[in-house]
Structure formats: C-alpha cells, structure tokens
Structure 1
Amino acid sequence: KQKWYVVWSGTEPGVYGTWAECKQRIHGIAGAKYKSYDSLAEAEAAYAAGYQAPKRKTGGEVRVSNQRLTPEQLSEFPEIDPQSIAVDAACSGNPGKMEYRCVYVFADPSMPDIFHFGPIMGTNNVAEFLAIVHALAMLKQRGDSQTVVYSDSRNAMLWVRQKKCKTTLPHTPQFAQAHDMIARAEKWLNENTVTNRVVKWETKRWGQIPADFGRKQH
C-alpha cells in the first residue's frame, strides 16, 4: 500500500512518495521531523499546516512499559538520542527459533527495518548479542561512529563489552548456524574498536524498544 512521507525538518523539507527519499533527507539530522500518511492529500495538508508537536498529557504517570510509544511520544524524552537505532530479538521457545531486527528509533512503525535476520535455532540472549554486533559492524562499514545503538538486554550488552557470548547453547548440528555466527561476531569484536555507544533502553520510562517484535508473553 502506497504511503506518503512528510519531512518538515530535514535537509530538504517536502512530501515524498517513498521511504528511501524521506530517509535520505532525515538521516543523521538531529531532531528531524517527519511522519507517514496514507494519502497524498492528507500528507500535503499536513505539510502545509506545519509540524504539530504532540500534546503532552498532564496528570499521573502512565504505565508504558508494555506499550510501544510513537515517534512523537518518544520525542518528549530529550534524553533519547535523536540519531539512534534500536535492536531487539524474539525467540519462540528457549532454545527455539530466534530472530532479530534493527530499526531507527524515531522511524514510523510502518517503515521497513534497517535489517532483519532469522529465524534460525538459538536462544533469545544469543539473538540479542548477534543483533548488537550486526548493528555495530554495519555502522563501522558505513564509517559512522556517532549513531547510538539501543538494546534492552543487559546480558547481551555485557557479552559485547566482554567480547564473549557466554551462552550454554549445546554444540549440536541443530545449533551449528548460531555457533558459526557467534564465532564470527566474537572475531569481529576482537579485531575492531567499537566507537559507537551501546545504551540500555529504559523500558519502564520509554515503553517497549522500537525494534520490539510485539510477541512478548504477559
């Protein structure tokens, strides 16, 4: 289904017919303001009206930890880095089929993932670890040392710092692909200096991480 993208604040404000065109004008711009719409008429009207800051709700603190906030809601937290990406994993069973993905923190949820891998057999912690390393390697390849990587997994962040995936995943043919990826990720960490910050996503304050698969069991 065709989406239309409005850029109010970026390298070239306007209305664009593809996410690629929109992304080109907002990537790396601190505080870029943009949004997707279902019709051209709606997008043009929104562009003409100018950017409307989301209304801040007054009153008691809302329980957000099990919700995913919109980019507009997240923009109310100045401590969230505007030039950032987020990674998250999902696993059906533990071990089970694991997958992970990466998104721009302030991207509209309808926009495509930066990358998505899986499912293959493994565990949630292994997928969280591989997701962070995949993101860091991608940024290094792009020559980008500024973008912040958010993860909601303390274990995975610790393993990345220690350059070692401390999993108890058995060395059996079923998990061979996961172990091969772990070995490559550890090798990359040992051979490269990480300059991008990896920061813990504060779920209790900011809701579910934007890369969340939305399949958590409550």
Structure 2
Amino acid sequence: MKEKPVVGIATDGAHSAKERLTRFRAVDLSSGKELFSKAIGNWTNNIGEFLGIVEAVRYVMEHPESPRTIYSDSITAITWYCNKQTASSRRCPALQKAEIFLKVMEARIKDIEVLHWDNRLWGEIPADFGNK
C-alpha cells in the first residue's frame, strides 16, 4: 500500500446544482494552506476538476519553489489534462483557454506530474469542498 502523499498540491472541483455554481481550489499538502479558490459559474464537476488542475499548473509556473506534483481524485480531469483536450460538450470559454494554455506551454510543463489521489487509501483529498 502506497503511503499518503505529504508533499504536493491537492486540487478539487465541486458543482452545486442548488447554487448553480462550479468551483475549484488547491491546497498545499505540506502546510494545509489553501493556494487558490475560484468560482466559475454554472458548469459541471468535471470542468471544475480539470480547471483546478490547470490553475495548479499555472500556480507552479508562477511559484518555482512550489512542488511540481499535483494530485486530483478525478480520473476524467487527469485524462483531459494528459490529452490537453477535454471531452466536454459544454462550450465553456475557460475550457477553451485552458486547452490552448496546455498546448502552448507543453514544453515548460512536461515535468509537472499530475497524479491520482486514491480516496479509498488516503481519505478525501485535502482540497475537498465537503459537499457530499
């Protein structure tokens, strides 16, 4: 069994149908400090998860001292990140910008790892919104 990561950046997204609001955020695993939190309007959970990863990549680029490992509990968002393209049928402007960013910055971000956070082994990801 792999040990729970203690270094890196944890990201999560959430969508509330009641509030009609999609959000994402990131937390530094070492300190527990929230690095950013954003609301993006009424989209989907997968879009929030993906944009959380992309925003964490931007954060790493702007803060070279930060860990270059990002965790997400969303296989879909990690797949979209690896493909540098989403499979969403929603035409969210932020998605289009994120896809372009990933393609343009490919050479500069290739050493940033995006790994799966295993909720079964390690519990909820520290960036979780607690909406379940």
More displaced 10-residue stretch of structure 1: 154-163 or 193-202: 193-202
State TM-score, norm by structure 2.
Answer: 0.86
**Residue of structure 1 in register with 2:47 after alignment:** 126
**Residue of structure 2 in register with 1:186 after alignment:** 99
Q: How many residues align?
A: 128
Aligned pair partner of 1:165 in 86, 93, 99: 86
Aligned-partner Cα distance in 2 for 1:107–1:146: 12
Any conservation in 2 of the 1:152–1:201 contact (CA below 8 Å)? Answer: yes
Task: Give the 5 Å matches for 1:192-211.
Answer: 192-193=105-106, 194=109, 195-211=111-127
Residue 162 of structure 1 aligns with an amino acid whose one-letter code is N
**Residue of structure 1 in register with 2:8 after alignment:** 84
**Unmatched runs of 5 consecutive residues or more in structure 2:** none
Task: Give the 5 Å matches for 1:63-82.
Answer: 79-82=3-6
1:104 aligns with 2:28: yes
Any conservation in 2 of the 1:83–1:147 contact (CA below 8 Å)? Answer: no
**Residue of structure 1 in register with 2:75 after alignment:** 154
Computing the radius of gyration from Cα coordinates, the structure with the larger value is 1
CA drift at 1:144: 4.8
Residue 133 of structure 1 aligns with an amino acid whose one-letter code is V
Which runs of structure 1 show a deviation greater than 4 angstroms over 4 or more consecutive aligned residues?
Answer: none
Any conservation in 2 of the 1:145–1:196 contact (CA below 8 Å)? Answer: no
Higher relative contact order, chain-length normalized (CA < 8 Å, sep 6+): 2
Aligned-partner Cα distance in 1 for 2:75–2:64: 26
Aligned-partner Cα distance in 2 for 1:103–1:146: 11
After superposition, the C-alpha distances for 1:125-161 in whole angstroms (9 at most, x for unaligned) are 0010000001011101223584210000000000000
State TM-score, norm by structure 1.
Answer: 0.54
Aligned-partner Cα distance in 1 for 2:29–2:59: 16
